[in-house]
Structure 1
Amino acid sequence: MPKIRAILTDIEGTTSSISFVKDVLFPYSRERLPAFVVTHGDKAEVQHWLHEAAREAGLVSASEQEMIDLLISWIDSDRKSTALKALQGMIWKDGYRDSDFRAHIYEDAARRMHAWHAMGLPLYIYSSGSVPAQKLLFANTGSGDLTPIISGYFDTETGAKRESASYARIAESIGMPADEILFLSDIVEELDAARAAGMRTTLLARDAEGCPPDSRHPCAVNFDGIDVGAC
Structure 2
Amino acid sequence: MIRVILTDIEGTTSSISFVHEVLFPYSAEHLEVFVREGHEDNLDIREQLDAVAATSGVSVKDIDGLIAVLQRWIREDRKETALKALQGMLWEQGYERGDFRGHVYDDAARYLKLWSERGLRLYVYSSGSVKAQKLIFGFSEAGDLTPCFSGYFDTRMGAKREPDSYHNIVAELGVAPETVLFLSDVEAELEAAEAAGLRTAWLVRDGSHPESERKVMRTFEDVDTLLRNHFPL
For the criterion TM > 0.5, the same-fold answer is yes
Per the alignment, residue 54 of structure 1 pairs with 53
User: 2:58–2:66: 8 Å Cα contact kept in structure 1?
Assistant: no
Per the alignment, residue 216 of structure 2 pairs with 219
Q: Secondary structure at the match of 1:79?
A: coil
1:8 is aligned to 2:6? yes
| TM superposition shift of 1:37 | 0.6
TM-score (norm 2): 0.94
For 1:86, the aligned partner's letter is A
For 2:166, the aligned partner's letter is Y
Q: Secondary structure at the match of 1:228?
A: helix
Question: Residues of 2 paired with 1:71 and 1:127: CA distance?
Answer: 19
Residues 168-224 of structure 1: per-residue CA shift (max 9 Å, x gap): 1111111111111000000011111000000000110111313x35233x3211111
For 1:63, the aligned partner's letter is D
Residues 71-109 of structure 1: per-residue CA shift (max 9 Å, x gap): 000000000000000000000000000000000000010
Question: Residues of 2 paired with 1:61 and 1:126: CA distance?
Answer: 30
TM-score (norm 1): 0.95
Residues 120-139 of structure 1: per-residue CA shift (max 9 Å, x gap): 10100000110011111110
For 1:129, the aligned partner's letter is G
Question: Residues of 2 paired with 1:50 and 1:108: CA distance?
Answer: 38
For 1:107, the aligned partner's letter is D
| TM superposition shift of 1:62 | 5.0
Per the alignment, residue 32 of structure 1 pairs with 30
Q: Secondary structure at the match of 2:100?
A: coil
1:207 is aligned to 2:222? no
For 1:21, the aligned partner's letter is V
Comparing both structures, which one devotes a greater share of its residues to helix?
A: 2
Per the alignment, residue 131 of structure 1 pairs with 130
Per the alignment, residue 93 of structure 1 pairs with 92
User: 2:60–2:66: 8 Å Cα contact kept in structure 1?
Assistant: no
Which has the larger displacement, 56-65 or 25-34?
56-65
User: 2:58–2:65: 8 Å Cα contact kept in structure 1?
Assistant: no
Q: Percent identity?
A: 50
| TM superposition shift of 1:56 | 1.3
Question: Residues of 1 paired with 2:198 and 2:61: CA distance?
Answer: 42
Residues 22-74 of structure 1: per-residue CA shift (max 9 Å, x gap): 00000000000000010010111111100101111133555110011110000
Q: Give me the CA root mean square deviation.
A: 1.1
Per the alignment, residue 120 of structure 2 pairs with 121
1:158 is aligned to 2:160? no
Question: Residues of 2 paired with 1:68 and 1:214: CA distance?
Answer: 41
Q: Secondary structure at the match of 1:157?
A: helix
| TM superposition shift of 1:228 | 1.3
Aligned residues: 227
Q: Secondary structure at the match of 1:4?
A: coil
For 1:127, the aligned partner's letter is S
| TM superposition shift of 1:14 | 0.2
- The runs of 5 or more residues in structure 1 that have no matched partner are none
